Structure 1
């Protein structure tokens, strides 16, 4: 079953520059992962500092591997402690 994550991360103003600088590499690395069908992180036009996140992976193993890899990157360091508001569902 495919795994889809949707939601957002609200980045505090004092960390916004760091997060924006790390984002392109995070997107590039994630899209290159085996099992990644799509991965998008886009600024919200309505809420300053909010980034909408949508990702789809081919299966749970690919999704779990992404979570593990991403947890050991610069992205993880610059976003550490910033609450995420995500919903993860299985798709047929």
Structure 2
């Protein structure tokens, strides 16, 4: 088993999308950090108010995939589905 790392940016196209991210992000972070296999999860606003830096680490591919599935079905996943994500994933 090897760790899975995701790093990149969540890029909003306008202020309305940024407001949605800010509204849904605290619960998303809380739920993700509580997931089995989550080793670290950081989402931080950059100097650009439309861009967040995302860095995740999961203990293995199974826990990462479970996270991805949970997210897709969550309020966060539905609310931010159309926001641009520029991520690189290593370990899968």
SS in 1 for 2:91: strand
Aligned to 1:64: 65
Structure 1: gaps (5+ residues): none
Written as runs of structure 1 = structure 2, the 5 A alignment for 1:8-87 is 8-11=9-12, 12-45=14-47, 47-87=48-88
RMSD: 1.2
Unaligned runs of 5+ in 2: none
TM-score computed with the length of structure 1 as normaliser: 0.92
The total of aligned residue pairs comes to 90
Per the normalisation by structure 2, the TM-score is: 0.92
